[in-house]
């Protein structure tokens, strides 16, 4: 039996886990995004819908050959929800998304077809149901991207799974003036219009950046960014606002802003009040972190009749491309190590402030995710769960993160919420594994199976002695029970490895270990053990 | 956590982990042999012992406790196996095995394998812990 202060540790970790997020709502969001649950059901979700969708999705994943079967099996041993969340996150990831080698045949409605339609949907190019079979219309829509990127439909699909690389590529192959975007946003408030009406300054900057080397820039400078806005060429503005490439670029920027946590509105290509605020927030964020003073007119100006001119070239180059060139795991490791080192040397007061703000981050990170995703105007209100870009940014600011949390820096709070959401999830899974391992060792775990009039119960004790008690006949439950026991024992291997890792760390750091440090160390231990457990480097995830 | 003084928290952590190690040490001290037992009985369970959920057809809550404490049925030993640390294995099996008993014997053998795997996971953990320092 666990007693005294050992029980205290277990109780505190149980409490900690209760305050951490449940992956359930992320799973639901992805199931809706992939049309396993219709978006119309989002606001009135029934558990039967989720159950059915999970089963269908898991069957499609297994049939898709996107993942190695050994990888799937090991992932399931860490936990069913953890496995499904991890797989769905990979399928829906658009910054290190899965790569496919061939497009489906017409009429196929498998997971790959859903993935293709999902990515098109994120970029505003899929007006139909994501579950629709792959068809000539799918190819046509992929062809639109292929035209923008001067590539094949297959390359276009794979580009949509690496938004950063795709953006960099588009910036390389198109002339700079293609990224001077014009859009109309008639519903924006007069206050915002007045605040962003910096035509003269924008024009000066534009000429400074581009010169008057192209007709487009000359025309813009002389006919659009005029002193008297009433004399601007509205037809030109209209034509530019309807340019399909430029419309796509606006959507791409909305996606970038959504991925970075600056934009929390609907992915709808509508650059309204919320999108404009996300742009000015991004400028504020980088000014604060890089100690620069970029003015908003460097990026955007209001012109007339709801039309804005937006220098997306500067915006994308400065803020949206963040390739650290390092694998995610190393990035996470470096970010965590940076925080842990500062925690080890911090004084008690600073550590207390840090942890109070971490508790606050926990609450706020999951404020949206605490409730299932909602539908609005036929679209899904969704959160981006990919981590590559966040970690790249975090790596860039690794020495500042501890201070931002401790001092609760307002400009960084949105970024920190997104960044820590990922750490909190890993902490939760790490604590769960630890508690399961401890529970198995000290809880005399019983595994039970029953069907009709047959039943078996097997009880394992800490020294692995086993006692089974059953009804006389077990023909109906035998196979299932054996499978359940094997599964439990194999998942125990993972849990015990986490228990061992935590105990080892705790004993070696016993004189400096504090609760905050323990939590960050658990995240690190979970990452290390799951990486070696999964043998990630050996896994081929793109075998289509 | 944030309300707790660092010094108190640090002290509790230190003694907590030390005690946890000691608890594990005491509990596995009796690990020189592995015992696997399989019993059966002539009893039924009632519907109120079942807890239905969406995932399994039925899950029995505390089946073991109910079977052994609430049921007055006499349990019969089908098989008992003792595996010593030096790999000596002793097994007792009920005589006159019926077809049902044979199925139970198969289950018993599978539980031996699972017990060994469970023991191995424990040994791996302890071995890893022994590498400290």
Residue A302 lies in a domain: yes
Instruction: Please say whether the beta carbons of A43 and A375 come within 8 A.
Output: yes
Q: Are residues A531 and A416 in the same domain?
A: yes
Asked whether residue A89 carries a pLDDT value surpassing 90, the answer given is: yes
Report the C-alpha gap between A453 and A383 in whole angstroms: 47
Band of residue A322 on the pLDDT scale cut at 50, 70, 90: low
| pLDDT mean across residues, chain A | 87
Residue A487 lies in a domain: yes
Task: Say which of B12, B35, B133 has its CB closest to residue A465.
Answer: B35
DSSP codes, A338-376:
HHHHHHHHS-HHHHHHHHHHHHHHHHHHTTTTTS---EE
Asked whether residue A139 carries a pLDDT value surpassing 50, the answer given is: yes
Task: Say which of B10, B100, B116 has its CB closest to residue A513.
Answer: B10
Q: Are residues A293 and A228 in the same domain?
A: yes
Segment A163-170 mean pLDDT: 93
- In the DSSP assignment, the letter for residue A253 is H
Band of residue B53 on the pLDDT scale cut at 50, 70, 90: very low
Of A222, A539, A164, A235, give the one whose Cα is nearest residue A386.
A164
Asked whether residue A244 carries a pLDDT value surpassing 90, the answer given is: yes
Q: Are residues A299 and A444 in the same domain?
A: no
Q: Please return the burial class of A471, using the count of CB atoms within 10 Å of its CB with bins 0-12, 13-18 and 19+.
A: buried
Task: Specify the pLDDT at position A490.
Answer: 83
Q: Are residues A358 and A260 in the same domain?
A: no
Chain A neighbors of B9, CB-CB under 8 A: 514-515
The number of angstroms, rounded, from the C-alpha of A425 to the middle of its chain's C-alpha atoms is 12
**Closest residue in chain B to residue A15, using alpha carbons only:** B1
Instruction: Please say whether the beta carbons of A39 and A382 come within 8 A.
Output: no
Segment A87-93 mean pLDDT: 95
**CA separation, residue A310 to residues A31, A122, A220, A248, A529 (Å):** 35, 22, 12, 14, 47
Q: Nearest 5°: phi and psi at A462?
A: -55, -40
Higher pLDDT pick, A419 / A321: A419
* Measured torsion, CA atoms of residues A264, A270, A274, A278, in degrees rounded to the nearest 10: 70
Residue A78 lies in a domain: no
Residue A140 lies in a domain: no
Report the C-alpha gap between B8 and A473 in whole angstroms: 56
Q: Are residues A478 and A528 in the same domain?
A: yes
Note whether B114 contacts A486, CB cutoff 8 Å.
yes
Q: Are residues A302 and A395 in the same domain?
A: no
Task: Say which of B50, B68, B131 has its CB closest to residue A469.
Answer: B68
Q: Are residues A305 and A429 in the same domain?
A: no
Q: Compute the count of residue pairs across chains A and B with CB atoms less than 8 Å apart.
A: 223
Close Cβ partners of A273 (under 8 Å, ≥ 6 residues apart)? A187, A188, A189, A192
Q: Are residues A309 and A340 in the same domain?
A: no
Of A260, A500, A347, A514, give the one whose Cα is nearest residue B4.
A514
Asked whether residue B30 carries a pLDDT value surpassing 80, the answer given is: no
The number of angstroms, rounded, from the C-alpha of A447 to the middle of its chain's C-alpha atoms is 36
* ipTM for the complex shown: 0.78
Asked whether residue A493 carries a pLDDT value surpassing 90, the answer given is: no
pLDDT digits (tens, 9 = 90+) for A420-446: 888 888 898 899 999 988 888 877 678
Task: Specify the pLDDT at position A144.
Answer: 97
Q: Are residues A308 and A398 in the same domain?
A: no
Asked whether residue A94 carries a pLDDT value surpassing 90, the answer given is: yes
Task: Say which of A446, A467, A482 has its CB closest to residue B110.
Answer: A482
Task: Specify the pLDDT at position B64.
Answer: 46
Asked whether residue A544 carries a pLDDT value surpassing 60, the answer given is: no
The number of angstroms, rounded, from the C-alpha of A160 to the middle of its chain's C-alpha atoms is 15
Strand, coil or helix: B103: helix
Domain boundary among A260, A293, A320: A320
Task: Say what percent of chain B tops pLDDT 90.
Answer: 13
Chain A neighbours among B 3-42 (CB < 8 Å)?
4-7, 9-10, 12-21, 23-24, 27-28, 30-31, 34-42
Report the C-alpha gap between A258 and A299 in whole angstroms: 18
Task: Say what percent of chain A tops pLDDT 70.
Answer: 94
* Cβ of residue A48 closer than 8 Å to a chain B Cβ: yes
Chain A neighbours among B 64-103 (CB < 8 Å)?
64, 67-68, 75, 100, 103
Beta bridge partners of residue B50, listed in sequence order: B60
Per-range mean pLDDT, top range of A129-143, A258-272, A442-456, A483-497: A129-143
Report the C-alpha gap between A521 and A525 in whole angstroms: 6
- In the DSSP assignment, the letter for residue A296 is G
Report the C-alpha gap between A429 and A527 in whole angstroms: 10
Of A462, A465, A467, A458, give the one whose Cα is nearest residue A487.
A458
Residue A376 lies in a domain: yes
Domain count, chain A: 2
Q: Are residues A363 and A269 in the same domain?
A: no
Report the C-alpha gap between A405 and A391 in whole angstroms: 16
Higher pLDDT pick, A464 / A103: A103
Residue A430 lies in a domain: yes
**Closest residue in chain A to residue B57, using alpha carbons only:** A451
Residue A131 lies in a domain: no
**Closest residue in chain A to residue B27, using alpha carbons only:** A462
Task: Specify the pLDDT at position A540.
Answer: 37
Q: Are residues A435 and A508 in the same domain?
A: yes
pLDDT digits (tens, 9 = 90+) for A213-232: 788 888 998 889 888 878 88
Place of tokens 């509205």: A234
Domain boundary among A295, A320, A345: A320
Q: Are residues A394 and A490 in the same domain?
A: yes
Give the Cβ contact number of residue A98 at 10 Å.
Answer: 19
Per-range mean pLDDT, top range of A261-265, A494-498, B67-71: A494-498
Task: Specify the pLDDT at position A323.
Answer: 61
Asked whether residue A118 carries a pLDDT value surpassing 90, the answer given is: yes
Segment A165-183 mean pLDDT: 93
Higher pLDDT pick, A480 / A369: A480
Task: Specify the pLDDT at position B1.
Answer: 40
Note whether A492 contacts B121, CB cutoff 8 Å.
yes
Report the C-alpha gap between B61 and B65 in whole angstroms: 9
Domain boundary among A320, A355, A379: A320
When mean pLDDT is compared across A126-135, A162-171, A244-253, A530-539, the lowest value belongs to A530-539
Note whether A496 contacts B122, CB cutoff 8 Å.
yes
Place of tokens 């964020």: A285
Task: Say what percent of chain A tops pLDDT 90.
Answer: 38
Residue A393 lies in a domain: yes
Instruction: Please say whether the beta carbons of A72 and A22 come within 8 A.
Output: no
Asked whether residue B60 carries a pLDDT value surpassing 50, the answer given is: no
Instruction: Please say whether the beta carbons of B41 and B76 come within 8 A.
Output: yes
The domain in which residue A273 lies consists of 170-320
């Amino acid at each position: 039996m666990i007693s005294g202060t050992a029980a205290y540790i277990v109780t505190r970790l149980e409490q900690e886990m209760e305050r951490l997020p449940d992956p359930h709502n992320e799973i639901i969001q992805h199931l809706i995004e992939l049309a396993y649950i219709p978006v119309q059901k989002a606001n009135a979700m029934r558990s039967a819908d989720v159950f059915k969708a999970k089963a269908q999705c898991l069957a499609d994943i297994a049939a898709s050959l996107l993942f190695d079967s050994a990888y799937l099996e090991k992932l399931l041993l860490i936990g069913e929800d953890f496995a499904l969340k991890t797989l769905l996150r990979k399928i829906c990831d658009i910054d290190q998304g899965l790569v496919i080698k061939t497009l489906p045949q017409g009429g196929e409605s498998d997971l790959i077809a859903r993935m293709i339609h999902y990515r098109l949907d994120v970029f505003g190019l899929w007006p139909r149901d994501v579950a629709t079979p792959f068809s000539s219309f799918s190819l046509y829509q992929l062809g639109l991207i292929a035209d923008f990127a001067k590539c094949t439909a297959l390359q276009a699909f794979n580009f949509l799974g690496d938004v950063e690389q795709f953006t960099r590529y588009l910036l390389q192959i198109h002339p700079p003036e293609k990224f001077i975007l014009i859009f109309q946003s008639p519903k924006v408030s007069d206050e915002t219009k007045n605040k962003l009406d910096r035509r003269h300054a924008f024009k000066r900057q534009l000429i400074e950046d581009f010169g008057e080397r192209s007709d487009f820039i000359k025309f813009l400078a002389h006919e659009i960014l005029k002193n008297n806005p009433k004399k601007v060429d509205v037809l030109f503005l209209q034509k530019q606002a309807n340019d399909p490439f430029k419309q796509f670029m606006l959507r791409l920027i909305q996606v970038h802003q959504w991925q970075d946590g600056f934009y929390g509105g609907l992915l709808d290509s509508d650059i309204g009040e919320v999108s404009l605020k996300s742009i000015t927030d991004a400028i504020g964020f980088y000014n604060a972190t890089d100690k620069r003073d970029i003015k908003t007119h460097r990026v955007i100006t209001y012109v007339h009749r709801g039309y804005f001119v937006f220098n997306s070239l500067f915006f994308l180059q400065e803020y949206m491309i963040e390739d650290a060139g390092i694998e995610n795991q190393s990035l996470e490791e470096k970010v965590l190590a940076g925080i842990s080192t500062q925690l080890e040397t911090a004084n008690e007061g600073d550590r207390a402030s840090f942890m109070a703000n971490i508790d606050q981050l926990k609450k706020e990170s999951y404020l949206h995710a605490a409730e299932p995703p909602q539908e609005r105007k036929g679209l899904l209100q969704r959160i981006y769960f990919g981590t590559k870009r966040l970690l790249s940014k975090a790596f860039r600011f690794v020495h500042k993160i501890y201070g931002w949390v401790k001092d609760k820096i307002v400009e960084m709070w949105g970024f920190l919420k997104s960044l820590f959401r990922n750490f909190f999830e890993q902490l939760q899974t790490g604590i769960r594994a630890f508690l399961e391992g401890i529970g198995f060792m000290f809880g005399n775990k019983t595994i039970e199976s029953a069907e009709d009039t047959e039943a078996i119960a097997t009880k394992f004790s800490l020294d692995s002695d086993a006692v089974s008690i059953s009804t006389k006949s077990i023909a109906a439950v035998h196979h299932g029970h054996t499978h359940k026991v094997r599964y439990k024992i194999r998942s125990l291997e993972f849990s015990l490895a986490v228990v061992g890792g935590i105990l080892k760390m705790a004993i070696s750091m016993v004189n400096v270990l504090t609760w905050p440090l323990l939590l960050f160390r658990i995240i690190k231990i979970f990452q290390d053990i799951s990486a070696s457990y999964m043998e990630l480097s050996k896994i081929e995830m793109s075998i289509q | 956590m944030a309300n707790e003084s660092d010094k108190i928290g640090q002290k509790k952590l230190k003694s907590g982990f030390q005690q946890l190690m000691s608890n594990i040490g005491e509990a596995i001290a009796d690990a020189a042999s592995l015992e696997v037992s399989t019993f059966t009985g002539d009893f039924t369970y009632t519907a109120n012992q079942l807890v239905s959920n969406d995932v399994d057809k039925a899950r029995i809550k505390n089946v073991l406790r109910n079977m052994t404490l609430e049921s007055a049925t006499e349990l019969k030993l089908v098989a008992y196996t003792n595996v010593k640390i030096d790999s000596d294995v002793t097994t007792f099996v009920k005589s006159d095995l019926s077809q049902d008993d044979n199925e139970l014997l198969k289950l018993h053998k599978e539980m031996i394998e699972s017990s060994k795997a469970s023991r191995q996971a424990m040994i791996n953990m302890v071995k890893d812990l022994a590498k400290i320092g």
